[in-house]
Chain A
Amino acid sequence: MKSLLTNIRRTPYQSAAAFLALFLNLFLAVVILFSSSFIYGLLSYVETRPQVTVYFKTQTVSDDVFKMRDNLINSGKTLSVKYISQQDAYKTYQQLNKDNPLLLEMVSPAIFPASLEINAKKPVYLPQIAEFLKKQSGVDEVVFQKIIIDRLMTLTNLIKKTAIIFGVFLIVTTIIILFTITHFKVALKKEEIELLRLLGASRGYVKKPFLEEGLFFGFVSASVAFLLFLGIIFYINPFLSSYLSGADNLTIGWDFHQLAVWPLNGIFLAIIYGVTVFFGITISTLATLFATQKYIK
């Protein structure tokens, strides 16, 4: 550690450049990582709102509706299927118009259609579910927010692609910058390296200080970038809380596991920190490795 700090002190400008380049890129990486996770969580939340609503003709018997509901559940494509009876619909109507007795007098439960509110497991299942329902007898109308769902899916894909492209761009940029800085450092220590090699030092021995520095910068830059991000996120936390007051819980994940991204929690933040440190250490070590491989013979 002492020799590592001495090496850094002896090349202050190159060290500062390496740190700042890594810090800036890692900070952007943390922001991208958090934003992507957050937006994904938000999209998942939106996707869990009722997506297809099917209204049945008033004369359709409830057994037929239940049979249809069971078919949907058994298809494995739905997250939930909620049955709204004529009575339930009437109650909702009453609730909504409780201040208007005139409107209440004019209706009875018989005029309200029973309905099913369906959430699909994936947005791609929605058109299939809608098509299936339209073909069933007793169905009056299928309400399917196709445009909204299509837009959501486009947005999700766009975010995914942008994050990948931007992430690759950040990695390549950082590696090139660190590669160049390490090259400078190797050039500055040319005489020392030649002497060490002449005394019989192995290539690994000569490369070791550069690699240690790379590791150190990767870890420190990632930690500082994460701390800055943490400060910002806690600062804007009250605004986010009021903005997302309706959404109790945002999650991202897979069929086997769901990770809560909102409200902010220790596990999610620890994962973000871990990924940032891994990212920082990997790219700084790779860049240093490429440079020393090329310039230390």
Chain B
Amino acid sequence: MIQFTKVVKRFPLGNVAVTDLSFTIDDNEFVFLVGPSGAGKTTILKLVTKELTPNSGTILVEDLEITAKHFHDLEKLRRKIGVVFQDFKVLPDKNVWENVALSLQIINTPRNLIRSQVNQALDLVNIRTKAQMFPIQLSAGELQRVAIARAICGNRKIILADEPTGNLDPQTTWEIIKIFKKLEGMKTIIIATHNTDIVNSLKKRVLIMKNNRLFKDVHKGGYEL
């Protein structure tokens, strides 16, 4: 569960990123986060991962109150979350297999478990045949598959995707969305996107941001601003 209660985030120069933000996302829910550029979508994702700290309000992620004054479980929090970026953030000097395995190596997973879990994740995103290839040899769609495989490895319960299809052509976009659909019901998925087609056709819960506030929270909704 992810719960925001009256969250306010202001940047050092005073401009407001999000204000009076309250919502709850249940376990294994599939949610779209939409809104114009600068509405606060990325800020919400960064607040969940604690890359940003709110000025006021409380945020609860699973059993952790991450806004608590003496919160020291940053690593524990981040090990529950897989992140997918628009620009993939795949390490260029590691091959596909190593990039995905990284997610498990950092939590000291035994080698045999790493092997089986990485292969499983690569199968899920359908890129196992390219496991030994380096990022420079892959297309944008393939790179995003690698990023998703990395995000789901290590029994991460929450997947945050920030414009995951922003750099992809329409066909590849749908292939990536299909992967997220495969994960539905197994993990909590939050996708920040501008892609109206995807939001409208999937009919999932949509959190609509406008003027740095939660404008609408629509269950089985579409893209509207």
**Residues of A participating in the B interface, judged by any CB pair closer than 8 Å:** 10, 191-192, 195-202, 205
Contacts and interface: CB of A to CB of B under 8 A. Distances in A.
25 contacts: A191-B91, A195-B89, A195-B91, A196-B102, A197-B78, A198-B51, A198-B78, A199-B78, A199-B79, A199-B83, A199-B102, A199-B103, A199-B106, A199-B150, A200-B76, A200-B77, A200-B79, A200-B106, A200-B107, A200-B154, A201-B75, A201-B106, A202-B75, A202-B106, A205-B106
Contact of B75 (A10, A192, A200): A200
B193 interface: no
B89 to A, nearest CB: 6
Interface in B22-75: 49, 51, 75
A192 B49 contact: no
Contact of A192 (B51, B79, B91, B103): B91
Tell me whether chain A's interface is mostly helix, strand or loop, or mixed. helix
Interface residues of B, number: 18
Contacts of B79: 199-200
B90 to A, nearest CB: 9
Interface in B65-119: 75-79, 81, 83, 89, 91, 93, 102-103, 106-107
Contacts of B89: 191, 195
Contacts of B150: 199
Contacts of A205: 106
B27 to A, nearest CB: 19
Given A198-B49, A200-B107, A205-B106, A10 B93 contact: yes
Nearest to B50: A198
A120 B196 CA distance: 97
A199 B150 CA distance: 9
